[in-house]
């Protein structure tokens, strides 16, 4: 059976709709056809988080969210990245093959350079794509479901695998990225940038009803009034509505936009209802899991054992291939 692997940083606390639609939902659908290895990338989060309690709590919360969204432990492994320290060894070995030039082409480095912050960038952030390559290659992954913003990292992973195999023989499996066509880049509620915690333009489907309502009502619109006719093709509300409503419901909202007499507030409430309908069972499960940490911990423990068994196999081959003891 082929293996799907992906990771998510816990930095955000709760996952947002971009995470859910771009990665989590497709990753969970792959449970039907693949063995699924998914992890919470707490080593990666260390590049920015300095608060140990927060890192621990956010990592746990993200694991609970994954379970609430429907991760089935029988179909694979859900684990903390740092529960498999073998990752850091493979990361070191790969870093001896990654060139400075490769890493300066990475998005995070370029962004820091453009803002004149490259001198302050820590080594972990600079070599972020190498650790990510280790994450993927350590588990012999076949496919990696991700959003568009991670494609560059998967390409780098493929190059590093190829370079390793060129020097040491066919040891590492080259993975394929799997990006959802319609949800590769979910827009933010500002209608300008992709949805992201760093832009503060997100909707968190597992947040409390009050917070969720505030986030949906904050979707940015133009200043057309209730009676004005509106263009549904330009509306962020309609874009989000399409992710959750049936084609007939979307057609109905679109015709109300065109007819006028239907305000953005009405459309936002319709969207909020759809999001609540879709996520209510998952939110209930999430709340229950947060009150029952033992259940989450036991899934993470089992996930660690499965992931470690695989990691040891690959790392042994890698160490032998490159002449380590």
CB atoms < 10 A from the CB of 317, how many? Answer: 15
Choice from 31, 95, 196, 308 touching ligand TYM (CB under 6 A): 196
**Per CB under 6 A, which of residues 3..22 are in contact with ligand TYM?**
6-9, 18-19, 22
Instruction: Quote the least distance from Cβ 30 to ligand TYM, whole Å.
Output: 13
The residue within the footprint of ligand TYM, chosen from 3, 4, 14, 23 (CB under 6 A), is 23
- 185 lies in the binding site for ligand TYM (CB under 6 A): yes
Distance CA 133, CA 158 (A): 8
Question: Cα angle at 72 between 148 and 210, to 5 degrees?
Answer: 70
**What is the closest distance, in whole angstroms, from the C-beta atom of residue 179 to ligand TYM in the complex?**
8
Q: In terms of DSSP bridges, do strands 3-8 and 76-80 run parallel, antiparallel, or are they unpaired? A: unpaired
Residue 143 pairs with which residues in a beta bridge? 4, 176
Residue 80 makes contact with ligand TYM by CB under 6 A: no
Taking CA atoms, 293 is separated from 64, 289, 297, in Å, by 8, 6, 6
Write down the least CB distance from residue 168 to ligand TYM, Å: 22
Positions 33 through 72 that interact with ligand TYM (CB under 6 A): 41, 44
DSSP string, 201-237: ----TTS-HHHHHHHHHT-------TTS---GGG-HH
291 is known as an active-site residue? no
* Closest alpha carbon to 60 in 313, 316, 307, 301: 301
**Catalytic residue check, 197:** yes
Tell me the residue number closest to ligand TYM, measured at CB: 22
- Annotated active-site residue 56? The verdict is no
Residues 127-146 close enough to bind ligand TYM by CB under 6 A: 132, 135-136, 144, 146
Q: Is 124 or 263 the residue whose CB approaches ligand TYM more closely?
A: 124
Q: Does 232 bind ligand TYM (CB under 6 A)?
A: no
What contacts 206, CB < 8 A, 6 or more positions away?
Answer: 14, 15, 65, 68, 279, 282, 283, 286
Give the integer Cα–Cα distance in Å for 28 and 209: 24
Selecting among 54, 197, 276, 306, the annotated active-site residue is 197
Marked catalytic residue, from 54, 194, 242, 256: 194
Q: What's the distance, Cα to Cα, between the start and end of the chain in Å?
A: 31
Residue 149 as a binder of ligand TYM (CB under 6 A): the answer is yes
Report in angstroms how near the CB of residue 193 gets to ligand TYM at its nearest.
9
Residues belonging to the active site = 113, 194, 197
What residues line the site for ligand TYM (CB under 6 A)?
A: 6-9, 18-19, 22-23, 41, 44, 132, 135-136, 144, 146-147, 149-150, 183, 185-186, 194-196
């Amino acid at each position: 059976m082929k293996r799907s692997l992906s990771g998510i940083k816990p930095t955000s606390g709760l996952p947002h709709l971009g995470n859910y639609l771009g990665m989590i939902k497709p990753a969970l659908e792959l449970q039907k056809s693949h063995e699924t290895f998914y992890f919470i990338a707490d080593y990666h989060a260390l590049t920015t988080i300095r608060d140990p309690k927060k890192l621990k709590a956010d990592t746990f919360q993200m694991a609970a969210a994954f379970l609430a969204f429907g991760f089935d432990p029988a179909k694979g492994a859900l684990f903390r990245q740092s529960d498999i320290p073998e990752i850091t060894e493979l990361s070191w070995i790969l870093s001896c093959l990654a060139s400075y030039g490769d890493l300066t082409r990475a998005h995070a480095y370029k962004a820091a350079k453009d803002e004149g912050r490259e001198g302050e960038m820590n080594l972990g952030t600079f070599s972020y794509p190498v650790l990510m390559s280790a994450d993927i290659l350590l588990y012999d992954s076949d496919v990696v479901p991700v959003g568009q913003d991670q494609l560059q990292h998967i390409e780098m992973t493929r190059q590093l695998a190829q370079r390793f195999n060129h020097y040491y023989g066919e040891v590492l499996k080259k993975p394929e990225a799997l990006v959802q066509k319609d949800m590769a880049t979910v827009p933010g509620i500002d209608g300008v940038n992709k949805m992201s915690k760093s832009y503060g333009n997100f909707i968190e489907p597992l947040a409390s009803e009050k917070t969720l309502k505030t986030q949906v009502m904050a979707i940015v619109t133009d200043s057309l009034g209730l009676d004005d006719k509106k263009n549904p093709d330009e509306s962020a509300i309609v874009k989000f509505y399409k992710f959750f409503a049936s084609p007939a419901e979307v057609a109905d909202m679109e015709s109300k936009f065109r007819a006028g007499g239907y305000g953005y507030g009405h459309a936002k409430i319709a969207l909020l209802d759809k999001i609540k309908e879709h996520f209510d069972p998952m939110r209930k499960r999430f709340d229950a899991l947060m009150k029952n940490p033992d259940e989450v911990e036991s899934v993470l423990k089992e996930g660690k054992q499965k992931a470690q068994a695989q990691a040891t196999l690959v790392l042994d081959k890698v160490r032998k291939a490159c002449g380590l003891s």
